[in-house]
């Protein structure tokens, strides 16, 4: 089998994954796209390992490592998504914008740390309220 | 102890007194008065001992190298000649009297400790100037006096007059001190030493290359310090200080320093005929102008201030004809009687509750309330008007004799033109001196009207020192035959011609004033001007400060009061208006110097606030705008960041590939 087939397939997979990471709004789909990219890389590793006839098969060994780490990563990722979803009722990446710099956040004095816990959140400025929500 | 050791103690004791007084003034108020009086008194006694030991013999010189500067060394040197020891005695005497007087005059003043310490420091600085044998060390004392006068004139700093006066005194004297410093450097550059003996030796050997330039530069500093035209304007305004300070500044320290300095370095000035003529003209203008101005003043202390300027003019005149013996002789006798006049004026102001002669002329029986001040002031005014046999007569005679000899070509130290200028101006000024002295006496003590308020006896500390100082006022002139040893061995006895001439014109001046006063006295009743004292039982200094504050409201501005009963107004005629304001010199200086400087200051302010600050603020605003723009990119959407990251990586990768290819191809 010619090297071009798995290479092109891996490139397509990677691009699909990249598109998914950059364009999908659902966090789970973003995680799935990351998996796609990882698998594209795995495919490349295996294909080149065969093509280069490596005696030690380091490509295949590395692929095993990648798969193991990807499993761990997806576990943590899904746990985060689950926690975010429980808190907010949504896992849209677009709406998780608490680190955005807003004008309201800029006008705040630098004493957020000692007031967030006690102050009534309804009266606090919008940006601050959002942050408090994120850390809750 | 050797004479040198004693002489070192003289300036040192008041200095230590001042330092201790400043340190302990708050913590131990009980020690303030002894600390003020005793060091000064001890210095005065030691100064007398030094004078007795020196005895008018050859000058005693002692020195220790203070700073090896690499070029012209600075020595801590003493140069004790007859002039130095006698002037030191005068300084010590007057300073002691002023300190004793101040204990009563400012007895409840909360700032008395710092005041007394500053007076001690002032005294110490003057004594340093007097004894110093090195002009750089002399300059130290000279400048310390400048700053002390600033603090002391501004003692009542709550009043705007005192604040303005102290600033003016400081700035005007500094205006002279800058050329003075340059002159000292030029002198050292020519002679190669700062030592007075060295300078005089170099001058004697003809080692002075630029005598006129140096003399004129030094004269600027002398004119500032000794209140000579055209830098005299600070002195009348300095009356805003307490009366003992005025006595100290006018009699012994500060203004005497300039004259004394010229007397010390007279050979330097005598090298340049042009400088002597300039000094003579300066002295003549000062004498006559201040005499006219004194005749028109209403504030008793301003009359005395202008009189000081005039008497200093006499001393400058004596120096201009190259007779430093006569100049220092007049400096000493003037120191004695001017101290009496000021200290007595303080008593008068306390008793009358006003410093306005107009108000005093409406007040009967003031002389009976304060007999001590009355008699001592009478004696001192007679001395001021140069009536024999008081001290002022002999010293003024010595000056006129020197001027006459120079004018007639019998002395060849100075050009004859200088002699004629000083002689004519001196005689004219003698008329004016007698006239304003008579006017002061008549208005202050021969007033008619409501009885002067009775405040009880004046404190003994204030009246005793008047009599102490009255002794030299009466008797110092009679020692003229004895003290010639101290003054270069040069005779100071009066000659018949000038004695008759000057006493005659003096009597004429006095009698004309008396006639004018007699004529105008009838008008006094028509324009009442009374004095109301707010706190009759308060300390004298407070009464004086209040009198100064209320003067303008009660009697018109301090120089000129619209009083038809003033004999000065009748005598001066249309000139009175100009004389009252000191011939508009203040207004002229305000136009020529003060306003341009203020305009320049506001220009600098504009440049700083509007131009420089705009750039500073602009850089801040620019950074802020940039920050706002950059913050827009911070959307919080992770995917946007990732996209930007990807785009950046792509650009970098492409760039790396392209450059690699381009470089590989070349």
Reported as a single tens digit per residue, the pLDDT across B630-658 is 888 888 788 888 899 999 999 999 999 99
Q: Are residue B644 and residue B537 in the same domain, yes or no?
A: no
Residue range B385-401: average pLDDT?
85
Count of domains forming chain B: 2
Residue A117, pLDDT above cutoff 50 = no
Q: Are residue B291 and residue B388 in the same domain, yes or no?
A: yes
Reported as a single tens digit per residue, the pLDDT across B214-231 is 888 998 888 888 888 888
Chain A: residue whose CA lies nearest to B639: A22
The answer to the question of residue B496 being in a domain is: yes
- Whether residue B634 and residue A96 make contact (CB cut-off 8 A), yes or no, is no
Query: How much is the ipTM here?
Result: 0.71
The answer to the question of residue B520 being in a domain is: yes
- Whether residue A21 and residue B636 make contact (CB cut-off 8 A), yes or no, is no
Domain ranges of chain A: 4-95, 103-135
Q: How near does any CA of chain B get to the CA of A56, in Å?
A: 31
- Whether residue B639 and residue A99 make contact (CB cut-off 8 A), yes or no, is no
Q: Which residue from B635, B643, B646 is facing A97, i.e. has the nearest CB?
A: B635
* A92 phi, psi to nearest 5 deg: -75, 125
Band of residue B66 on the pLDDT scale cut at 50, 70, 90: confident
User: If 0-12 CB within 10 Å is exposed, 13-18 middle and 19+ buried, where does residue B496 land?
Assistant: exposed
Q: Are residue B440 and residue B394 in the same domain, yes or no?
A: yes
Nearest-Å Rg of the Cα atoms of chain A is 22
| A23 contact B CB<8A | yes
- Could you give the angle at the alpha carbon of B167 between the alpha carbons of B164 and B169, nearest 5°? 105
Q: How much is the pLDDT for B504?
A: 87
The answer to the question of residue B330 being in a domain is: yes
Q: Are residue B345 and residue B395 in the same domain, yes or no?
A: yes
Q: How much is the pLDDT for B592?
A: 86
How many CB atoms are closer than 10 A to CB B125? 27
Highest mean pLDDT among B27-36, B61-70, B108-117, B607-616: B607-616
Better-scored residue on pLDDT, B600 or B559 = B600
| A69 contact B CB<8A | no
Q: How much is the pLDDT for A127?
A: 47
> For residue B397, what are its two tokens?
């005679």
The answer to the question of residue B24 being in a domain is: no
DSSP line for B621-638 = HHHHHHHHHHHHT--S-H
Residue range B585-612: average pLDDT?
90
DSSP line for chain A = --THHHHHHHHHHHHHHHHHHHH--BHHHHHHHHHHHHHHHHHHHHHHHHHHT-SS-HHHHHHHHHHHHHHHHHHHHHHHHHHHHHHHS--BGGG--TT---HHHHTS-S-HHHHTTTS-TTTS-HHHHHHHHHH-
> For residue A53, what are its two tokens?
């006839």
Q: What is the DSSP letter of B64?
A: E
Q: How much is the pLDDT for B561?
A: 56
Q: Which residue from A22, A30, A98 is facing B643, i.e. has the nearest CB?
A: A22
Helix or strand run (H / E) with residue B55: none
Percent of chain B at pLDDT above 70? 92
The answer to the question of residue B568 being in a domain is: yes
> For residue A135, what are its two tokens?
């850390």
Reported as a single tens digit per residue, the pLDDT across B349-359 is 888 877 777 77
Given B521, B542, B574, the domain boundary residue is B574
| Alpha carbon B102 to its chain's center | 19
Residue B439, pLDDT above cutoff 80 = yes
Chain A and chain B share a number of CB contacts under 8 A equal to 31
The answer to the question of residue B97 being in a domain is: no
Q: How much is the pLDDT for A122?
A: 42
Q: How near does any CA of chain A get to the CA of B630, in Å?
A: 10
Q: Which of A14, A18, A20, A99 to mutate to test the interface with B (most CBs of B within 10 A)?
A: A99
Query: The CATH number of A4-95 is which of 3.40.50.2300, 2.40.50.180, 3.40.640.10, 1.10.287.3510?
Result: 1.10.287.3510
Close Cβ partners of A105 (under 8 Å, ≥ 6 residues apart): A125, A127, A128, A131
Q: Which residue from B631, B637, B638 is facing A101, i.e. has the nearest CB?
A: B631
- Whether residue B646 and residue A22 make contact (CB cut-off 8 A), yes or no, is yes
CA distance B386 to B425: 15
Q: With contacts defined as CB-CB under 8 Å, which chain B residues touch A23?
A: 639
Q: With contacts defined as CB-CB under 8 Å, which chain A residues touch B638?
A: 93, 96
pTM for the whole structure = 0.77
**B307 touches B66 (CB < 8 A):** no
Look at the alpha carbons of B96, B100, B105, B107 in this order and tell me if their dihedral is positive or negative: positive
| Alpha carbon B571 to its chain's center | 29
Q: How near does any CA of chain A get to the CA of B663, in Å?
A: 29
Reported as a single tens digit per residue, the pLDDT across B534-559 is 555 566 667 677 766 666 655 555 45
Query: B294-325 in b/e burial notation, b at 16+ Cβ within 10 A?
Result: bbbbbbbbbbbbbbbbbbbbbbbbbbbbbbbb
Chain A: residue whose CA lies nearest to B647: A22
In the block, tokens 């001395």 appear at B383
Q: Are residue B570 and residue B600 in the same domain, yes or no?
A: no
* B231 phi, psi to nearest 5 deg: -110, 25
Q: Which of B64-78, B83-97, B221-235 has the lowest mean pLDDT?
A: B64-78
Domain carrying residue B489: 273-574
Tell which residue, A23, A57, A56, A62, has the closest CA to residue A41: A62
Tell which residue, B206, B216, B212, B208, has the closest CA to residue B189: B208
Residue B468, pLDDT above cutoff 60 = yes
- Whether residue B638 and residue A96 make contact (CB cut-off 8 A), yes or no, is yes
Q: With contacts defined as CB-CB under 8 Å, which chain B residues touch A21?
A: 639, 642
Q: Are residue B606 and residue B536 in the same domain, yes or no?
A: no
Better-scored residue on pLDDT, A5 or B461 = A5
Band of residue B598 on the pLDDT scale cut at 50, 70, 90: very high
Which residues make beta-bridge pairs with B60?
B80
> For residue B355, what are its two tokens?
């410093």
- Whether residue B639 and residue A22 make contact (CB cut-off 8 A), yes or no, is yes
Question: How far is CA A116 from each of CA A101, A122, A123, B200, rounded to the nearest angstrom?
Answer: 18, 11, 11, 85
Give chain B's contact residues with A (Cβ, < 8 Å). Answer: 631-632, 634-639, 642-643, 646
- Whether residue B637 and residue A22 make contact (CB cut-off 8 A), yes or no, is no
Q: Are residue B597 and residue B555 in the same domain, yes or no?
A: no
Q: Are residue B376 and residue B506 in the same domain, yes or no?
A: yes
The answer to the question of residue B32 being in a domain is: no
- Whether residue A94 and residue B646 make contact (CB cut-off 8 A), yes or no, is no
CA distance B268 to B208: 8
Residue range B375-390: average pLDDT?
87
CA distance B453 to B365: 9
Q: Are residue B570 and residue B594 in the same domain, yes or no?
A: no
Q: Are residue B600 and residue B636 in the same domain, yes or no?
A: yes
Residue range A6-23: average pLDDT?
93
Q: How much is the pLDDT for B413?
A: 75
| A114 contact B CB<8A | no
Tell which residue, B155, B577, B559, B550, has the closest CA to residue B349: B550
Q: What is the DSSP letter of B354?
A: -
Reported as a single tens digit per residue, the pLDDT across A36-76 is 999 999 999 999 999 998 888 999 999 999 999 999 999 99
Question: How far is CA A119 from each of CA A104, B56, B288, rounded to the nearest angstrom?
Answer: 17, 91, 84
The answer to the question of residue B394 being in a domain is: yes
Q: How much is the pLDDT for B106?
A: 84
């Amino acid at each position: 089998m010619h090297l071009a087939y798995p290479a092109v397939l891996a490139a397509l997979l990677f691009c699909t994954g990249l598109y998914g990471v950059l364009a999908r709004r659902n966090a789970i789909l973003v995680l799935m796209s990351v998996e796609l990219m990882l698998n594209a890389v795995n495919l490349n590793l295996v294909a080149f390992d065969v093509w280069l006839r490596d005696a030690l098969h380091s490509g295949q060994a590395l692929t095993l490592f990648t798969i193991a780490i990807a499993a761990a990563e997806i576990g943590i990722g899904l746990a985060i998504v689950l926690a975010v979803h429980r808190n907010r009722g949504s896992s849209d990446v677009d709406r998780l914008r608490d680190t955005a710099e807003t004008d309201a956040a800029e006008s705040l004095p630098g004493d957020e740390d000692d007031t967030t816990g006690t102050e009534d959140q309804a009266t606090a400025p919008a940006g601050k309220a959002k942050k408090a929500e994120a850390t809750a | 102890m050797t004479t040198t050791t004693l002489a070192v103690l003289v300036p040192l004791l008041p200095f230590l007194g001042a330092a201790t007084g400043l340190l302990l003034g708050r913590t131990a108020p009980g020690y303030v008065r002894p600390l003020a009086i005793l060091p000064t008194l001890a210095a005065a006694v030691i100064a007398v001992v030094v004078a007795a030991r020196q005895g008018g013999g050859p000058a005693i010189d002692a020195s220790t190298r203070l700073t090896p500067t690499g070029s012209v060394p600075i020595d801590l040197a003493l140069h004790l000649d007859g002039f130095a020891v006698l002037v030191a005695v005068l300084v010590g005497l007057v300073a002691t009297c002023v300190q004793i007087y101040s204990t009563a005059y400012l007895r409840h003043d909360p700032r008395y400790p710092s005041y007394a310490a500053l007076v001690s420091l002032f005294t110490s600085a003057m004594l340093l100037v007097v004894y110093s044998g090195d002009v750089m060390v002399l300059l130290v004392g000279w400048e310390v006096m400048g700053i002390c006068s600033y603090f002391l004139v501004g003692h009542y700093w709550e009043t705007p007059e005192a604040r303005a006066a102290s600033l003016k005194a400081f700035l005007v004297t500094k205006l002279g001190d800058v050329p003075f410093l340059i002159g000292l450097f030029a002198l050292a550059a020519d002679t190669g030493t700062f030592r007075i003996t060295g300078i005089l030796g170099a001058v004697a050997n003809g080692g002075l290359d630029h005598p006129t330039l140096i003399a004129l530069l030094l004269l600027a500093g002398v004119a500032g310090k000794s209140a000579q035209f055209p830098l005299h304007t600070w002195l009348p305004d300095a009356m805003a200080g307490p009366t003992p300070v005025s006595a100290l500044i006018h009699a012994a320290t500060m203004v005497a320093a300039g004259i004394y300095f010229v007397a010390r370095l007279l050979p330097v000035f005598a090298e340049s005929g042009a400088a002597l003529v300039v000094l003579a003209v300066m002295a003549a203008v000062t004498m006559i102008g201040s005499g006219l101005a004194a005749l028109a003043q209403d504030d008793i202390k301003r009359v005395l201030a202008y009189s000081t300027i005039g008497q200093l003019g006499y001393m400058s005149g004596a120096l201009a004809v190259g007779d430093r013996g006569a100049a220092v002789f007049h400096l000493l006798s003037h120191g004695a009687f001017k101290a009496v006049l000021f200290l007595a004026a303080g008593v008068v102001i306390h008793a009358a509750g006003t410093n306005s002669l107009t108000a005093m002329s409406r007040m009967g029986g003031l002389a009976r309330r304060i007999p001590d001040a009355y008699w001592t002031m009478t004696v001192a005014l007679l001395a001021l008007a140069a009536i024999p046999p008081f001290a002022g007569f002999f010293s003024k005679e010595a000056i006129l004799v020197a001027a006459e000899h120079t004018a007639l070509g019998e002395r060849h130290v100075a050009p004859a033109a200088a002699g004629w200028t000083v002689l004519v101006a001196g005689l004219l000024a003698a008329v004016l001196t007698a006239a304003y002295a008579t006017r002061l006496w008549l208005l202050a003590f021969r007033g008619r009207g409501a009885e002067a308020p009775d405040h009880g006896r004046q404190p003994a500390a204030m009246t005793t020192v008047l009599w102490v100082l009255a002794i030299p006022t009466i008797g110092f002139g009679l020692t003229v035959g004895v003290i010639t040893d101290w003054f270069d061995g040069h005779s100071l006895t009066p000659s018949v011609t000038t004695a008759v001439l000057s006493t005659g014109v003096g009597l004429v001046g006095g009698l004309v004033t008396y006639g004018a006063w007699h004529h105008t006295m009838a008008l006094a009743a028509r324009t009442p001007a009374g004095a109301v004292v707010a706190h009759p039982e308060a300390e004298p200094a407070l009464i004086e400060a209040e009198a100064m504050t209320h003067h303008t409201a009660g009697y018109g501005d301090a120089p000129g009061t619209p009083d038809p009963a003033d004999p000065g107004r009748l005598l001066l005629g249309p000139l009175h208006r100009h004389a009252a304001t000191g011939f508009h010199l203040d207004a002229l200086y305000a136009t020529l110097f003060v306003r341009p400087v203020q305009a320049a200051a506001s220009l600098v302010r504009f440049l700083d606030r509007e131009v420089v600050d705009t750039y500073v603020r602009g850089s801040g605003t620019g950074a802020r705008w940039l920050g706002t723009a950059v913050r827009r990119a911070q959307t919080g959407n992770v995917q946007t960041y990732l996209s930007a990251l990807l785009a950046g990586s792509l650009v970098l990768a492409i760039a790396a590939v392209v450059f690699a290819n381009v470089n590989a191809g070349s």
